[in-house]
Amino acid sequence: MCWRETTLAQALEETRRKSFQYLYDFGDSWDHSVRIEGVGPRDPHLTYPRILEANGERPPEDCGGPWGYAEKLEALSDPQHEYHEEAIETLGEGYDPNRQPDFTIIEAKLNALAKRWVTKPRRKR
């Protein structure tokens, strides 16, 4: 099976597993554990993919992986830290990792993604 051309549903069906590891960004090594808690019937009135829950602000891209992100959070909270200014540049002055994400932004991005994924009818030749 070529994993690059496999959907999540196909991979789960092939492996028959309820959980899997997902490595996002090979350079920064963001390693995620994903557990499928349930699959319900498709609702034709909803747009997919959907977000059901989220906790905390996401780390910015290219921040050095989990270790670099932790260091930036530490530096951000300590004005005397040697990397404090760099942390402000990367994360922003008022960055709060516990702030709840803006679901309207996430939903808008997911809706844009869903529109790109819609199967277009084939043209007759």
Taking only the tens place, the pLDDT of each residue in 76-109 is 999 999 999 999 999 988 899 999 988 898 889 8
Mean pLDDT of the chain: 83
pLDDT at residue 119 tops 70: no
Q: Which helix (H) or strand (E) holds 21?
A: strand 19-24
pLDDT at residue 125 tops 70: no
- Average pLDDT (32-49) is 80
Under 8 Å between Cβ of 57 and 106: no
Question: For residues 43 and 79, which has the higher predicted lDDT (pLDDT)?
Answer: 79
CA neighbours closer than 13 Å in the CB half-sphere of residue 80: 0
Q: Which domains does the chain have, with CATH numbers?
A: 6-37 (no CATH), 47-118 (3.10.290.30)
Question: How far apart are alpha carbons 105 and 95 in whole angstroms?
Answer: 17
